[in-house]
């Protein structure tokens, strides 16, 4: 007699049609939705910061240093959903020590580590002078902390700060392609799998990258407005306008490319297209509607803001709503890719209905915690290195 | 120390660290890979894995859907008894008159689970899903890992825990697997599963522990009608050599470019 036990720590998803028996346990949970989402926020925030640090676009100056802290706070949490998801997180380092290079995942740890180093170095150069000043100004444990962070380099002469600037700019220039590569590569992790019809597309990495920029810029807009309100300062209007315009045209490009993706898929109408259509009408219907409605409404608001060149209250309110909608839209898009791909059976004869577990390592609560954690870290970063108050005006007047 | 020196130090440490990791990595791979190849005896001392080329045949025209193979496999390989973890399974295709698509199910369909007998020696059943219908034709298709020559699961493993042996079997080193499930995603056939018990990937090994001792896989042994054929393609007198020479063969999803080494007879266009 077989031990016909229902192992309690897996959830089998209900299905319609025919799915391979092993497919009834969905392998990648919402943790793997959170992972590309966070990575995308990093890439987007970094690219927004580089508009000032690399191209010297002065409209972006008020958020440039804050964007750097945002990118760093989120980047630190990129590996967390992956580690939560691994069956053997204690073996995670094997991927770095004995990488299997044909795997799209093997180089990820290297690419991510490289990017973290670039990001930390750039942040250090951007904030070193502040650390020195803060060390002078404070006492006790805080003094020690800032002194240690300045790494013994306490020269804040004009010459030394110019040196900082050149290094920060050089690192930002290296960081831009790295950020783009890192996230395009996350798209490749999915797009390169021929086994799943919903993922296997040349456009997947491009869509991932573009929506990353969109989500990062939206996060920056939202956080900038919220933090300005908390600091009782008015957010810089030309900065908000520039961010809004960036969001507007990146969102347009995303929607066009996504539209092309669907058009191509249905126009080609390859084997199993009816199952794909059933997926979109069935298990994915709600999240697809959320994705499209949110991006549609956000685009309308942004178009209105850009065309009428709104300022003041309408600009702030419009941007808050639009950026929140974009953040929701991109999360829904990640869900639709990661979960949607797995809800479509590899047999192309059936659909699974994934129900996320609430508790446990793979649960909704854990995922929400991982999403919220970078915000807490960012709050700490901002407390330690106020990106607005300190000598920003004179020191970073001409970064480029 | 001035800033320039600090930077130089940081860069040197980073470069040195990366080089060390690379060196250790290549060393570990070299050591594990070459030892077995040099001695030519793997996994046991008296087995030479360069002297065999295993392959599997499925004659779907013979399968009666008794599911003995599924039970034998679960018993032999300690696969959990629930209907969501399988190293091998059986699909049923029923063509009902007036319907343009076959009805497809496996022993894991809710109706079939309802018809099963968890307490019995042979717990799995195919429920009579076509009662009162005029059936045009119906057949069963046993499924298992295809032990592809170009396995996408091996390609995507980030640590190389899954590999193809010299004698043509795709295996998993479960002491090395990190449990990322990328291979489960990459397999176009749904042949891989995740073992919640050991938190690693799991799949059919063609009973590697048996075939390297001259035995047949448990499913082949258990099949009462000879629908499963196994053997060494390098041995012209083996069952599989006769099967390959005497039949017109098909493989599953050839368009995936995986080059399966499980060969089918008697399936049709709707079998994927």
Cis peptide leading into residue B43 (ω within 30°): yes
Cβ atoms of B148 and A157 within 8 Å: the answer is: no
Q: Which residues contact A208 (CB under 8 A, 6 or more apart)?
A: A36, A40, A183, A184, A186, A187, A190, A191, A337
Chain A positions in Cβ-Cβ contact with residue B257 (cut-off 8 Å):
194
Helical (H) or strand (E) element with B22: helix B3-39
pLDDT value of residue A107: 82
**pLDDT band at residue B35, thresholds of 50, 70 and 90?**
very low
pLDDT (tens digit, 9 = 90+) per residue, A329-347?
Answer: 999 999 999 999 999 999 9
pLDDT value of residue A147: 87
pLDDT (tens digit, 9 = 90+) per residue, B147-171?
Answer: 999 999 999 999 999 999 999 999 9
Residue B4, min C-alpha distance to chain A (Å)? 9
**A-B contacts at Cβ under 8 angstroms:** 177
Question: What is the widest separation between alpha-carbon atoms in chain B?
Answer: 89
C-alpha A228/C-alpha A226 separation (Å) is 5
Residue B65 reports pLDDT greater than 80? yes
Q: How many Cα neighbours within 13 Å face the side chain of B181?
A: 25
Residue A145: inside a domain, yes or no?
Answer: yes
The side-by-side arrangement of strands in the sheet containing B262-265 is B228-232, B54-59, B262-265
Interchain pair A100, B159: CB under 8 A: yes
Interchain pair B190, A20: CB under 8 A: yes
By CB neighbour count within 10 A (0-12 exposed, 13-18 middle, 19+ buried), where does A134 fall? buried
C-alpha B202/C-alpha B195 separation (Å) is 6
C-alpha A48/C-alpha A191 separation (Å) is 26
C-alpha B57/C-alpha B133 separation (Å) is 32
**pLDDT band at residue B41, thresholds of 50, 70 and 90?**
low
- The token duo for A279 is 């997926």
Cβ atoms of A66 and A388 within 8 Å: the answer is: yes
Give the ipTM of the model, two decimals please.
0.90
**pLDDT band at residue B180, thresholds of 50, 70 and 90?**
very high
* Nearest neighbour of A97 by CB, restricted to B25, B82, B89: B25
Question: What is the widest separation between alpha-carbon atoms in chain A?
Answer: 81
C-alpha B25/C-alpha A33 separation (Å) is 30
pLDDT (tens digit, 9 = 90+) per residue, A85-99?
Answer: 999 999 999 988 999
Residue A60, min C-alpha distance to chain B (Å)? 29
Question: How many folded domains does chain A comprise?
Answer: 1
- The token duo for B149 is 């020559």
C-alpha A379/C-alpha A374 separation (Å) is 8
pLDDT value of residue A334: 96
pLDDT value of residue B64: 97
Q: Which residues contact B136 (CB under 8 A, 6 or more apart)?
A: B95, B96, B97
pLDDT value of residue A2: 56
pLDDT value of residue B16: 65
Residue A13: inside a domain, yes or no?
Answer: no
Residue B153, min C-alpha distance to chain A (Å)? 9
pLDDT value of residue A395: 43
- The token duo for B156 is 């995507």
Q: A112 φ, ψ to 5°?
A: -65, -45
pLDDT value of residue A398: 43
In this structure, how many other beta carbons lie within 10 angstroms of the beta carbon of residue A308? 11
* Residue A215 CA to its chain's centroid (Å): 6
pLDDT value of residue A158: 86
Cβ atoms of A367 and A334 within 8 Å: the answer is: no
Range of the domain at A266: 27-85+102-395
Interchain pair A97, B158: CB under 8 A: no
Residue A92: inside a domain, yes or no?
Answer: no
* Alpha-carbon torsion angle A378, A383, A385, A387, nearest 10: 70
Task: Convert B198-232 to b/e letters by CB count within 10 Å (16 or more is b).
Answer: ebbbbbbbbbbebbbeeebbbbbbbbeeebbbbbb
| Angle at alpha carbon of residue A15, lines to A366 and A208, rounded to 5° | 50
User: What is the architecture, at CATH level 2, of domain B41-89+140-272?
Assistant: 2-Layer Sandwich (3.30)
Interchain pair B180, A85: CB under 8 A: yes
- The token duo for A233 is 């300062």
Interchain pair A195, B107: CB under 8 A: no
Q: What parts of chain A have a pLDDT lower than 50? A: 1, 5-6, 391-400
Chain B positions in Cβ-Cβ contact with residue A6 (cut-off 8 Å):
82
C-alpha A183/C-alpha B104 separation (Å) is 39
C-alpha B18/C-alpha B29 separation (Å) is 17
Q: Strand B135-144 relative to strand B88-96: parallel, antiparallel, unpaired?
A: antiparallel
* Mean pLDDT value of segment B189-193: 97
- The residue with greater pLDDT, A47 or B130, is A47
Q: Which DSSP string do the residues of B128-153 spell out, in sequence order?
A: -TTTTS-EEEEEEEEEE----SS-HH
Residue B75 reports pLDDT greater than 50? yes
- The residue with greater pLDDT, B228 or A139, is B228
Helical (H) or strand (E) element with B263: strand B262-265
- The residue with greater pLDDT, B184 or A161, is B184
* Residue A181 CA to its chain's centroid (Å): 13
Residue A160, min C-alpha distance to chain B (Å)? 9
Residue A2: inside a domain, yes or no?
Answer: no
3-state per-residue secondary structure call for A226-290: HHHHHCCCCCCHHHHHHHHHHHHHHHHHHHHHHHHHHHHHHHHCCCCHHHHHHHHHCCCHHHHHH
């Amino acid at each position: 007699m077989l031990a016909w036990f229902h192992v309690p720590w897996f959830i089998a998803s209900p299905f319609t049609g025919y799915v391979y028996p092993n497919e009834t346990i969905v392998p990648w949970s919402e943790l793997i939705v959170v992972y590309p989402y966070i990575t995308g926020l990093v890439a987007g925030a970094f690219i927004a910061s580089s508009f000032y640090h690399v191209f010297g676009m002065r409209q972006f100056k008020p958020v440039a240093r804050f964007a750097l802290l945002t990118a760093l706070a989120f980047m630190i949490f990129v590996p967390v959903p992956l580690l939560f998801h691994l069956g053997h997180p204690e073996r995670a380092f094997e991927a770095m020590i004995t990488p299997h290079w044909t795997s799209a995942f093997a180089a990820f740890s290297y690419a991510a580590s490289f990017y973290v180093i670039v990001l930390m170095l750039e942040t250090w150069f951007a904030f070193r002078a502040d650390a020195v000043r803060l060390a002078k100004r404070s006492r006790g444990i805080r003094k020690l902390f800032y002194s240690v962070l300045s790494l013994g380099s306490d020269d804040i002469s004009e010459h030394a700060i110019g040196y900082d600037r050149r290094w920060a700019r050089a690192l930002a220039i290296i960081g831009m392609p790295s950020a783009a590569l890192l996230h395009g590569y996350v798209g490749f992790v999915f797009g390169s799998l021929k086994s799943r019809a919903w993922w296997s597309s040349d456009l997947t990495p491009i869509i991932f990258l573009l929506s990353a920029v969109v989500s990062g810029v939206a996060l920056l807009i939202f956080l900038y407005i919220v933090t300005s309100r908390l600091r009782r300062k008015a957010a810089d209007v030309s900065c908000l306008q520039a961010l809004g315009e960036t969001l507007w045209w990146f969102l347009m490009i995303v929607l066009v490319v996504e539209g092309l993706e669907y058009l191509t898929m249905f126009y080609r109408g390859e084997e199993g297209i009816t199952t794909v259509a059933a997926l979109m009408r069935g298990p994915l219907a709600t999240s697809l509607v959320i994705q499209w409605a949110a991006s549609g409404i956000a685009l309308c608001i942004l178009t209105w803001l850009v065309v009428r060149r709104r300022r003041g209250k309408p600009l702030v309110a419009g941007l808050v709503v639009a950026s929140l909608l974009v953040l929701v839209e991109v999360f829904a898009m990640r869900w639709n890719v990661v979960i949607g791909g797995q809800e479509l059976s590899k047999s192309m004869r059936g659909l699974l209905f994934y129900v996320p577990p609430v508790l446990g390592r793979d649960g909704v609560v854990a995922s929400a915690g991982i999403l919220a954690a970078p915000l807490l870290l960012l709050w700490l970063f901002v407390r330690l290195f106020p990106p607005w108050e300190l000598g920003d005006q004179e020191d970073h007047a001409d970064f480029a | 120390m001035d800033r320039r020196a600090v930077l130089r130090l940081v860069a040197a440490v980073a470069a040195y660290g990366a080089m060390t990791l690379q060196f250790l990595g290549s060393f570990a791979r070299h050591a594990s890979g070459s030892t077995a190849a040099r001695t030519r005896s793997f996994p046991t001392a008296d087995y030479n894995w360069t002297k065999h080329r295993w392959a599997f045949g499925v004659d779907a025209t013979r399968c009666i859907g008794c599911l003995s193979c599924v039970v034998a496999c679960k018993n032999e390989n300690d696969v959990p008894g629930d209907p969501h973890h399988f190293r091998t399974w059986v699909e049923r295709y029923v063509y009902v008159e007036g319907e343009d698509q076959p009805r497809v199910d496996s022993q894991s369909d809710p109706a079939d689970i309802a018809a099963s007998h968890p307490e019995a020696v042979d717990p799995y059943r195919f429920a009579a899903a076509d009662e009162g219908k005029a059936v045009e034709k119906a057949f069963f298709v046993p499924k298992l890992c295809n032990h592809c020559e170009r396995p996408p699961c091996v390609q995507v493993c980030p640590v190389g825990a899954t590999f193809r042996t010299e004698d043509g079997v795709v295996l998993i080193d479960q002491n090395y697997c990190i449990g990322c499930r990328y291979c489960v995603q990459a397999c176009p056939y749904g042949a891989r599963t995740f073992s919640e018990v050991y938190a690693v990937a799991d799949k059919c090994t063609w009973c590697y522990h048996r075939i390297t001792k001259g035995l047949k896989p448990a499913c082949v042994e258990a099949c009462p009608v000879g629908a499963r054929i196994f053997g060494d393609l390098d041995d012209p007198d083996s069952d599989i050599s006769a099967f390959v020479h005497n039949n017109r063969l098909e493989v599953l999803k050839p368009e995936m470019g995986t080059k399966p080494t499980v060969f089918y007879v008697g399936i049709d266009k709707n079998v994927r």
